Structures are given as C-alpha cells and as structure tokens.
Amino acid sequence: MFGTLFFASCELDKMPLNGPTTGTFPATEGEAVMGLLGAYKGLTLLDAASTPIAHVMDNITDIGYARPGNNYTSPITSSLTTDNALAIKPWSVHYKTIARCHSVLDNMENIREQLSEANYNQIDAELRVIRAYAYSQLIELYGDVPLVVKSLGLTETNLPRSPKKEIQQWIIDEMTAVASHLPVSQSQYGNVRAGQVAALMLKARVALYSEQYALAAETAKKAIDLSQGVYALTPFNATIEYANKTHEAGEPSSENIFGHEGYKSSKEWIWVAEYNQLIDGNTHNQGYYMASRLAKGASYWGPTQNLMDSFQALDGLPIDESPLYDPQNPFVNRDPRLDLYCARPHARLLGIQYETNSKFTRVNNYWPVLNGQSSSPSLVSNTDATNAYRSFSGYLWRKHANISDYNTNSASGVSDLDVGIFRYAELLLIYAEAKIEANDIDATVHQAINQIRSRARMPNIPSNLNQAQLRTALRYERKIELCNDGLRWYDLRRWGIAPKVMNGSLYLNRSGNTWTKEVLVDIDENYSPIYNEAEAKKHFTTQEVVFRENKDELWPVPQAERDANKELSQNSGY
C-alpha cells in the first residue's frame, strides 16, 4: 500500500540499538550498497500467479490469454474493480521499491566524505534509475500518481496525484542528470545493476511514450552507439533449424537468449531482474504456470490465435497475401519466431510432443532419449488434450520457458530464471519508431528493423516504404519480437488501437482444430488479423473482450490507498 512509503523506515527503528536506524542508515558505504541491493530486489517482488509481472501483462491483451478467472478475465472485459488483486498489486510493490530507494538516498549526504566521488555518484545514480523505472511503470498503469522524492513522515499522509506528463518529464530529467555517472554496462554483475545504457534506454522509452520523438531518437541513438562492443543481438542457436518442422525433427529453443543460458551469456540483455534460490523470497514458479500438462505444468498462459495468425510467411508477406501459406498446414513456411517463441500442435515442447486435439490419445515423450536411456521416445497418455485445465488458448509460450525447469516444475516448485527489464532488440525498435513518428526517415531506420529480422532469417523490409508503411512494419516487429515481454498492453494504449483490437472476439483454438482459408479476411495496418466471424466460430472458441474508452486506458487507483490518502482521486469509470 501507499502507506509503505510512510512507514517503511519505522521498521529500522525497531532493530537493536547497535543496528541501523532511520537517522543513521546508511552509516557506511557498505550499508549504502546493501540498501541499493535491497532496492534492486524490490524489482523482483511484483508477480501474479507466481509469475513475474512482465510475463503476465501480454496475457491480458490480444496476443495472450490466461486461464479464465476474475484476476485475468476482468482486465479484458472492462470489469476491473478497485480491489482486484492484479490491478492493485503494482501500486503497492512499486511504491515499496521507491521507499527502499529513499531509505538510502535521504541520508547519502551524511557519508559523502567516506566515499570517493565516483562511488558516491554511482550509488546515487543507480538508486535514482531504480526509482525512475518504478515511476515509469506506475504512470503507464495508473496515469497520474503522487510523485514522492523522499521518505515521508507520519503527518505527510495526504498527497495529491501529480500529472503523468510532469512525471514523464521528471524521469527524463533524472536520467539526463545521472546517466554519465554510471559505467556503460555492469556486465560483471550480470547486468543486474543498471549502467549508463540502461539509464539512457529508460529515458528513450519514456520520451517515446510521451511522444517526444526527436528526443527519443536522439537518446536511443546515443545508447546504441555506447552499446557497440558491449551489447548486441544474440543469434538464435542451431535449433532454429527445427522451426516450421514437427516434433520428430527436434525442439526449437530461444533459451540462449531467454533462458538460464541467455541470462548468463547473452549480450542482448541491458538490464535484468535477478532471481536466486539462495536468497529468501527471491524465486518464482513461472515454469510451472507456463508449462504444458505433460511437462508437469498448469498451462496457465498462452498465445491467442490472433497472435499465431500475425506471424508472417517466410517471404515476409502477411499470411492473407502470401502464396506460401496453407491453412491446412499452417505452421510451415512461417516466420521462425512462431516456433522459437510459441508452442503449437505437432511441435516438441519441453521434451514432449505437444498436441491439443483429442484424436492424439498418446504422444511421444522424448525424455528417455534426452536422458540417454533409450534411442527412441516412449508413448504417454496425452493429458494436454484431455485435462480440464489444459491450455485454454490451445497454444503455450516457449519464450521465457526453460527446459531445465522441467525437473522442478510442480505446484510448489521454484525457479530462479531471471527476467529481463531492457534488451537490445527493444532499444533498436525504440529508435526506429521514434524516427518513423518524427518522419525523420533514413537508412538507419531500415537497418534497426532489419537487424532483428535478419536474425530470424526473415527478408529485409523494402527500402522504399513511406511513413505509414514503415509504421506497419515497426508494429509487426514490436508485436512479434517483443511478444510475452510484457509491453503489448502499453503499446495498444499509446497507439490508440485498444478500442478496436480489444472489442469483440479473441480467437482461441483449445481443441487444436484445423481451419479454412475463409477464416481470415485481412491483416490490417497494425498487423491485427481481421476474421470472418461466422466462419471463424466454426473452428475456434472465443473470448469476448470489451474496452471502454475513457476508462480502460488505465487501471483503478486501489481503494485502500484512497482510504489512507484523502487527496487521491479515482480514475475515470471506476
């Protein structure tokens, strides 16, 4: 709750008299670093269904779907309430993280003489990056929020909301002030601690979201230039060869970017939230909630048919235009990221043949082969088609799932797979979008987009596209490359397309049905599939979605916070 801002420092006063107190913490450089690390840990505390929030948010949009229930159906049916668990948790957790930053920042001046100027400035800068990032999340979810820049006393309980635009500019100014005090990267810490490129990327993202396109492009360009030799796109591993093929060939994987291996060695990650099983309360159970039933998971989250139909054919054309697309065999000749990022029927997922159609009564389990116990797979009953809580969308996420977590998946399991905050692919897309929206189009826009496409073995975008066509190309890349990274919810709103995309039907294929060409009418300028509803409903199930303008752009301010702070107004429609 917002009250954590007021009272978090009081916990220190309850400690033994020879320990830190509100007035003395931090008393040494070591204590300041401990406080800094506590603030970083705060970034790992925001989850839902034991899944870090970044991998929840896309599942309440057009591209992802959660098991139906109040917490995840309410956001897509305009039914959120002021006490909904999903809607109120970010407010509480982000303000707790901000309070952790203030517990150090407020007294840093008292130990200035103990630190070198460089160390003092770096600790100060890192804390301000964490604080600014927390505010960047709060304003996107709630709009205007109280801007608090120091710990609050017991009498400072009633604070009004500051305008979102004011906070956006404050974040930009903060990052301008502190970026130069940070090293370019902090790769020696696994990029868990923010470096200069991370600070600049935060500034560029906020500038883009606030439609300051020239500033966003300029800042992103500076971050890209600083990244040379430090950050870069990581090529997909050899399993890209299994994309567009069936389970017999092998299992596609992007774990060298989005798995344990990737977080350890990939140069793509600019800033990472670290999880560690050796630290109390620093794990999640994402692997269980993302995995198939046969992989000992809950099949809780999964892509929609809408996303699956958004992936281009290998010739770079949308599937409603490409001669390579066959609706009777829809998972061949497609953008390889379909198989690298998503799991669909006839593929291998976490070592097991994935099928959701009931005609597949038994499927291949490749674990005896993987474990060296047999030269051929065994056959197992197909609970991915029969379990009452099998995937509700018919598909599952492969991106951010790690095959090694198969061994620990269970309802009470834990994982310490890290979660990315910023990666280089998004930085390139921030730069490209800012240049497109500023209508400052040159070869560097194409280069930024084509780097990402080339990695996926997709053809370059045409060199003669106009602004509107480039916007479509950019929105395709953000939808596909950044899927399940947690950014789609924000994109739908800032582009103004949520009223169109999130009204009507989301299509799901829980039964793994085949379909006909007549299902799809068009892929529009935002790369959203347009369906022949009467035909589509013959093959797919649906989730009706509702988006009410002047309401669903934001989440409600938690009622408990308004009870504690009489100055807090409520967002429209709640």
The pLDDT tens digits for 7-49 are: 333 333 333 444 455 668 999 999 999 999 999 999 999 999 9
Q: How many helices (H) and strands (E) does the chain have?
A: 23, 16
Q: How far apart are the first and last CA of the chain?
A: 19
For Cα atoms 391, 393, 396, give the angle at the middle one, nearest 5 degrees: 60
438 domain-assigned: no
Q: Are residues 388 and 305 in the same domain?
A: yes
154 domain-assigned: yes
**Overall average pLDDT of the 151-158 stretch:** 83
223 domain-assigned: no
Domain containing 107: what range? 3-181+553-564
pLDDT at residue 22, rounded to an integer: 60
Q: Strands, DSSP E only, in 274-329?
A: 301-303
How confident is the prediction for the chain on average, in pLDDT?
Answer: 95
pLDDT at residue 157, rounded to an integer: 81
Give the pair of three-digit tokens for residue 299. Answer: 């099949």
Last residue of a domain, one of 417, 452, 474: 417
Q: Helix, strand or coil for residue 235?
A: coil
Last residue of a domain, one of 417, 441, 460: 417
484 domain-assigned: no
454 domain-assigned: no
127 domain-assigned: yes
Q: Are residues 162 and 308 in the same domain?
A: no
pLDDT at residue 391, rounded to an integer: 98
- How many structural domains are present in the chain? 2
**Overall average pLDDT of the 409-420 stretch:** 95
pLDDT at residue 154, rounded to an integer: 76
Q: Is the pLDDT of residue 229 over 80?
A: yes
Q: Are residues 174 and 40 in the same domain?
A: yes
95 domain-assigned: yes
**Overall average pLDDT of the 307-318 stretch:** 98
Q: Is the pLDDT of residue 6 over 50?
A: no
pLDDT at residue 14, rounded to an integer: 39
Kind plus residue range of the DSSP H or E element containing 213:
helix 213-227
Last residue of a domain, one of 401, 417, 433: 417
CATH number, domain with residue 11: 1.25.40.390
Q: Are residues 63 and 169 in the same domain?
A: yes
Task: Evaluate whether 282 touches 38 at the Cβ level (below 8 Å).
Answer: no
pLDDT at residue 366, rounded to an integer: 98
129 domain-assigned: yes
pLDDT at residue 155, rounded to an integer: 77
Cα Rg of the chain (Å, integer): 24
Neighbour-count burial of 124, counting CB atoms closer than 10 A to its CB (0-12 exposed, 13-18 middle, 19+ buried):
buried
Q: Are residues 155 and 253 in the same domain?
A: no
**Overall average pLDDT of the 136-152 stretch:** 97
Q: Helix, strand or coil for residue 445?
A: helix
Q: Convert the pLDDT of each residue in 471-494 to its tens digit.
A: 999 999 999 999 999 999 999 999
pLDDT at residue 16, rounded to an integer: 41
Q: Are residues 166 and 245 in the same domain?
A: no
pLDDT at residue 407, rounded to an integer: 87
Q: Is the pLDDT of residue 338 over 80?
A: yes
CB atoms within 10 A of CB 386: 13
For Cα atoms 231, 220, 440, give the angle at the middle one, nearest 5 degrees: 135
Q: Helix, strand or coil for residue 44?
A: coil
Q: Is the pLDDT of residue 168 over 80?
A: yes
